[in-house]
């Protein structure tokens, strides 16, 4: 279980009493291309870029996804 980021644990249609409950392995619930993007975002967080070059050489959609994903990841880590 993790705290729902939609309602901030108040309870909504996306969660159960403020928490998202996983009934199977979370990576298995993601489409393969999304799982790859999550893995690459985690590599970016560790300082490894998925494409050779600098940050401006990365796909703009990936950079935006990574910023959003890492923001949610940090929010979940700090809320625990």
* CA distance to 9, 67, 70, per residue, from 40 (Å): 29, 12, 11
Count Cβ atoms within 10 A of the Cβ of residue 79 and give its class: 0-12 exposed, 13-18 middle, 19 or more buried: exposed
The reported pLDDT for the residue numbered 21 is: 85
The reported pLDDT for the residue numbered 79 is: 64
User: Based on the domain organization, do 75 and 41 belong to the same domain?
Assistant: yes
DSSP state of 21: -
The reported pLDDT for the residue numbered 80 is: 59
User: Based on the domain organization, do 41 and 69 belong to the same domain?
Assistant: yes
User: Based on the domain organization, do 3 and 39 belong to the same domain?
Assistant: no
User: Based on the domain organization, do 15 and 50 belong to the same domain?
Assistant: no
Tens digit of each residue's pLDDT, the chain (80 residues)? 778 888 988 999 989 999 988 888 777 777 878 888 889 999 999 999 999 999 899 999 999 999 999 998 888 777 65
Please give the tally of structural domains in the chain: 2
The reported pLDDT for the residue numbered 64 is: 93
The reported pLDDT for the residue numbered 66 is: 92
Domain extent at residue 11: 1-26
């Amino acid at each position: 279980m993790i705290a729902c980021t939609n309602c901030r644990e108040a309870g909504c249609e996306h969660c159960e009493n403020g928490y998202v409950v996983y009934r199977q392995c979370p990576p298995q619930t993601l489409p393969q291309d999304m799982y790859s993007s999550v893995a690459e975002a985690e590599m970016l967080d560790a300082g490894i870029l998925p494409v050779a070059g600098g940050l401006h050489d990365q796909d703009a959609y990936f950079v935006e996804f990574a910023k959003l994903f890492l923001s949610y990841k940090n929010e979940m880590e700090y809320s625990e």
